[in-house]
């Protein structure tokens, strides 16, 4: 069975205590590889390597670091198909999705920051005649980057690329549930000869390897994407040490549909925004709010289309949905469907596991599920399920839509469908959310600020926001 390694100080190494964790293929429910169960000692080695590499990496010109990032991007491009297959096998997502979205985006993350850092600049302020202020932007130090399982290489590289571009060295921990493409990334770094210690990748569990990383006094900042409870735990440890933190956390996103929208475009996109990646994208709209005038029409059309969405082997081109990432997560989603029923929800589509034949018979599959008849305050509409489960609720007025949209503890993303330009702007302003999509969904521009408000997180990724986060500003005032 394939055993993957940590990547520490430029080398692929086994965990010091020789312990490994089973890695499952969600499509078959079977263990297919082993990953290091790293301990504090492995993490400390990685941090030490990153500390030692820091000065020479930070001292490189921006253009030299940019060249390294381009080489990594090229390395990903060269192994695109292998990475896509690895991502699909590890995560359960359709291979076509990994091939068209996840891996190209990981390549683009390095490409984007290799160019962004060439153009990055700092400010200077003329205060008075003979007085000038200028701001230096220095790399912070050793960056701890921790990512989740839903978009494994895509989100892992979204942190690593700007951290390295800005001159930090990195210790990164991918999710233990989807470690394979992070491992392949470390192979790419070895192949291209990235200087030792600049990037270190340590595999292992959150409460051991992850916790050792964020608890270390020798890291200088934390960039984390994952669940809100984990984010709160990390903040408790990191905040009293006054280290920089960026926390990208959970969501319960509204998808607000007005009578006057372009119905066909909305319906097509809503199928995606509800169920892409089995509903396991932090930006998916899991609460669909529909103005009463088109509620019935929407419900009938949506249910009909969702019932036809094929759940199948992720390797098949015609599978619209693949497998759920892990058995615990699969059980969690099914338990939420039971909660919805207990709360009085009516299942309009799905609502059950899907059992495939042959090699996939032990895999974890759930039918795309639509639930109706629940009020906004119930658990189903308040808690993040993070699976192929949406609720639909009618509303009458714009004010009611805004109240419903804002009545959760989260505020990551919201989608609004209307052809009334003024209303679109009003809602864009009123809905409490870090990201608003109007008449579209997941149309990404890597220059834009990305992140949430309320319990969806602190800080922003993307564009200059990330480069600002990964640098420390220092103001110099000079009188001449």
Interacting residues with ligand NAD (CB under 6 A) = 146-150, 155, 173, 175-176, 206-207, 210-211, 214, 225-227, 230, 233-234, 248-251, 282, 384, 386, 412, 452, 456-457
**Smallest gap, in angstroms, from Cβ of residue 207 to ligand NAD?**
5
**Smallest gap, in angstroms, from Cβ of residue 276 to ligand NAD?**
13
In the block, residue with structure tokens 């569990």:
205
Q: Which is nearer to ligand NAD, 168 or 225 (CB)?
A: 225
Which position among 87, 176, 248, 372 bears the catalytic label? 248
Q: Which is nearer to ligand NAD, 147 or 471 (CB)?
A: 147
Question: Nearest CA to 138 among 214, 193, 57?
Answer: 57
**Smallest gap, in angstroms, from Cβ of residue 253 to ligand NAD?**
9
Contact at 8 Å (CB) between 149 and 325? yes
Q: Which residues contact 421 (CB under 8 A, 6 or more apart)?
A: none
Q: Which is nearer to ligand NAD, 71 or 329 (CB)?
A: 329
Q: Which residues contact 203 (CB under 8 A, 6 or more apart)?
A: 4, 6, 15, 35, 36, 37, 38, 173, 174, 176, 179, 182, 183, 209
Contact at 8 Å (CB) between 164 and 198? yes
**Smallest gap, in angstroms, from Cβ of residue 212 to ligand NAD?**
8
Q: What letters, b where the CB count within 10 A reaches 16 and e where it falls short, cover 135-166?
A: eebebbbbbbbbbbbbbbbbbbbbbbbbbbbb
Cα–Cα distance for residue pair 298/263, rounded to 1 Å: 8
**Smallest gap, in angstroms, from Cβ of residue 229 to ligand NAD?**
7
**Smallest gap, in angstroms, from Cβ of residue 256 to ligand NAD?**
20
- Residue 6's SS3 state is strand
Q: Which is nearer to ligand NAD, 277 or 291 (CB)?
A: 277
Instruction: For the beta carbon of residue 319, count every other beta carbon within 10 angstroms.
Output: 22
- Residue 231's SS3 state is helix
Q: Which is nearer to ligand NAD, 95 or 234 (CB)?
A: 234
**Smallest gap, in angstroms, from Cβ of residue 133 to ligand NAD?**
34
Identify the burial level of 122 via C-beta atoms within 10 angstroms of its C-beta, where 0-12 means exposed, 13-18 middle and 19 or more buried: middle
Cα–Cα distance for residue pair 320/318, rounded to 1 Å: 6
Which position among 145, 189, 261, 282 bears the catalytic label? 282
Q: Which is nearer to ligand NAD, 66 or 284 (CB)?
A: 284
Q: Which is nearer to ligand NAD, 50 or 234 (CB)?
A: 234
In the block, residue with structure tokens 């080398």:
11
Beta strand residue intervals within 352-411, DSSP E: 353-354, 365-366, 369-372, 389-395, 410-411
Q: Which residue number places its CB atom closest to ligand NAD?
A: 206
Our answer to whether residue 248 is catalytic in this structure is: yes
Which residues have a catalytic role annotated?
248, 282
């Amino acid at each position: 069975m394939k055993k993957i390694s940590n990547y520490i100080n430029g080398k692929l190494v086994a965990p010091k205590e020789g312990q490994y964790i089973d890695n499952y293929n969600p499509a078959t429910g079977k263990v297919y590889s082993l990953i290091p169960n790293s301990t504090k000692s492995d993490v400390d080695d990685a941090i030490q390597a990153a500390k030692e590499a820091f000065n020479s990496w930070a001292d490189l010109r921006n253009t030299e670091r940019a060249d390294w990032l381009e080489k990594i991007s090229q390395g990903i491009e060269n192994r695109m198909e292998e990475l896509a297959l690895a991502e699909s096998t590890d995560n359960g997502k359709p291979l076509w999705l990994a091939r068209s979205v996840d891996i190209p985006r990981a390549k683009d993350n390095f490409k984007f920051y290799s160019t962004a850092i060439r153009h990055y600049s700092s400010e200077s302020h003329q205060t008075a005649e003979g007085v000038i202020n200028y701001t230096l932007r220095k790399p912070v130090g050793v960056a701890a980057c921790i990512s989740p399982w839903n978009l494994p290489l895509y989100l892992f590289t979204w942190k690593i690329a700007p951290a390295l571009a800005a001159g930090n060295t990195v210790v990164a921990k991918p999710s233990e549930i989807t470690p394979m493409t992070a491992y392949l990334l470390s192979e790419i770094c070895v192949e291209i000869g990235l200087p030792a210690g600049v990037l270190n990748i340590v595999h292992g569990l959150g409460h051991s390897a992850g916790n050792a990383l964020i608890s270390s006094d020798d890291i200088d900042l934390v960039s984390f994407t994952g669940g809100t409870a984990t984010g709160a735990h990390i903040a408790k440890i990191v905040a009293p040490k006054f280290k920089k933190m960026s926390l990208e956390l959970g969501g319960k996103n509204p998808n607000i549909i007005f009578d006057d929208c372009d119905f066909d475009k909305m319906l097509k996109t809503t199928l995606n925004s509800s169920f892409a990646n089995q509903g396991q994208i932090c930006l998916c709209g899991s609460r669909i709010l529909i103005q009463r005038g088109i509620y019935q029409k929407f419900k009938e059309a949506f249910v009909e289309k969702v019932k036809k969405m094929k759940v199948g082997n992720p390797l098949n081109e015609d599978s619209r949905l693949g497998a759920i990432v892990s058995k615990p997560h699969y059980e969690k989603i099914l338990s939420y469907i039971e909660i919805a029923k207990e709360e009085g929800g009516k299942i309009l589509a799905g609502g059950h596991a899907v059992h495939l034949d042959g090699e996939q018979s032990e895999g974890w599959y759930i039918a795309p599920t639509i639930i109706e008849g629940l009020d906004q305050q119930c658990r189903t509409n308040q808690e993040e399920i993070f699976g192929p489960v949406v609720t639909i609720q009618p509303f009458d007025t714009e004010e009611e839509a805004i109240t419903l949209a804002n009545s959760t503890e989260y505020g990551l993303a919201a989608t609004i469908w209307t052809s009334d330009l003024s209303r679109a702007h009003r809602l864009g302003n009123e809905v409490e959310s870090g990201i608003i999509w109007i008449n579209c969904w997941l149309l990404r521009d890597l220059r834009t600020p990305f992140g949430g408000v309320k319990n969806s997180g602190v800080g922003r990724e993307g564009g200059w926001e990330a480069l600002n986060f990964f640098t420390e500003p220092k103001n110099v005032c000079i009188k001449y």
